[in-house]
Amino acid sequence: MSRTTPRRTASSGALRPVPARAGIGLKGPHVAEIVATAPDLGFFEVHAENYMGAGGPPHRWLEAVAARYALSVHGVGMNIGAPGPLDRAHLQRLKTVVERYRPGLVSEHLAWSSHGEAFYNDLLPLPLNETTLCAVTDHVREVEDVLGRRILIENPSTYVAFDATAMPEVEFLGRLAEATGCGLLLDVNNAYVSATNHGFDADDYIDTFPVEHVGEIHIAGHAPDIDDAGRPLLVDAHDRAVAEAVWTLLGRTLARTGPLPVLIERDNDVPPLAALLAEAARADLAIVTATAGRPALQGGAEDARLFG
């Protein structure tokens, strides 16, 4: 059964909606400074898997930050694109995190990361066809039913393509959102990386993306490389400042979406907090500049709705 209109239900705690502002990932070395100085940020994002333990310092840090800021919880291990069944134990652990912190947004990747007993360090691409769409649709519905709320699905960065792919990624994501009622997380850096690696136009990708379903945007730094044939290759490394080309593409994106939460992703070679705050300030300016006078899209404004 298609679920295109999430319904409200009672919850044990209030959600704090994620505002249409810039946010950064919460990193351990920054927590004390964040708590002491309360920087002007829209939200913090955390990887769900870092908080699946019962207690300890990570939860003390996150509780202190969640008392002041909106949260976005981003999963990297659900394996939502795998052909087999979801890991129900992992899904229950995710549910525990979501119920404990009541984040305004919850997201996962359009990717797979394990096969049988093997687990991989990378989020791997999918063949985009009807068979995959049916499998991913079932998985998204299962996750949303267990969590009791809408989730966002992120477009991946990719380095190889499948011969079995039969539809553009933007079509696949749009049909997934229509079939399940899920939202989309538009990673602008991923779009730029994939466009470079596969030789398509990043502007065209953004111009045809189903932005009515977008609830959050990501931007990040990427590492330049060369493939075996001597062609340019970009790696979604999250280890440096956001590239100017990605900032430009962000402006193009926001001109279509209207104001939405924008996350600065930095997971490797993490700099001092001040450097991330400077990038967040630039993202806040981009939101205001590109969307002056425009309301937020319905899909972005209501991703915290719950299912009954």
Distance CA 80, CA 87 (A): 9
Task: Give pLDDT, residue 113.
Answer: 54
Where do the domains of the chain lie?
Answer: 22-301
Kindly report the CA angle at 155 between 99 and 242, in degrees rounded to 5?
95
How do residues 268-293 score in pLDDT, each as one tens digit?
999 999 999 999 999 999 999 987 86
R_g (Cα) of the chain, nearest Å: 18
Kindly report, residue by residue over 22-42, the tens digit of the pLDDT: 999 999 999 999 999 999 999
Greater confidence (11 vs 271) lies with 271
Nearest to 179 by CA among 151, 230, 205, 141: 141
List, for residues 216-243, the tens digit of each pLDDT value.
999 999 998 888 888 888 898 989 999 9
Token readout for 12 is: 């044990």
Kindly state the average pLDDT of the residues 131-150.
96
Give me the amino acid identity at 102: R
Asked if 137 and 181 count as a contact pair (C-beta separation under 8 A), the reply is: no
Write out the H or E segment, with its range, that includes residue 174.
Answer: helix 169-180
Tens digit of pLDDT for each residue in 156-203?
988 777 676 789 999 999 999 999 999 999 999 999 999 999 999 999
Instruction: Check if the beta carbon of residue 302 is closer than 8 Å to that of residue 261.
Output: no
Given this model, what pLDDT does residue 14 score?
72
CA separation for the pair 96, 176 (Å, rounded): 25
Q: State residue 292's pLDDT score.
A: 80
Helices (H) and strands (E) in the chain, counts: 10, 12
How many C-beta atoms surround the C-beta of residue 43 within 10 A? Answer: 26
Give the pLDDT score at 306. Answer: 42
Q: Across residues 287-300, what is the average pLDDT?
A: 70
What fold, for 22-301? TIM Barrel (3.20.20)
| pLDDT, average across residues 112-123 | 47
If 0-12 CB within 10 Å is exposed, 13-18 middle and 19+ buried, where does residue 231 land?
exposed
Does the structure show a pLDDT above 70 at 211? yes
pLDDT at 126 (0 to 100): 82
pLDDT attached to residue 125: 73
State the average pLDDT for the chain: 87
pLDDT at residue number 234: 86
Check pLDDT > 80 for residue 103.
Answer: yes
pLDDT of res. 46:
97
pLDDT band at 121 (very low <50, low <70, confident <90, very high): very low
The strand ranges marked E within the chain are 22-25, 43-47, 70-74, 105-109, 112-115, 118-124, 152-154, 183-187, 214-220, 223-226, 232-235, 262-265
The pLDDT value recorded for residue 232 is 85
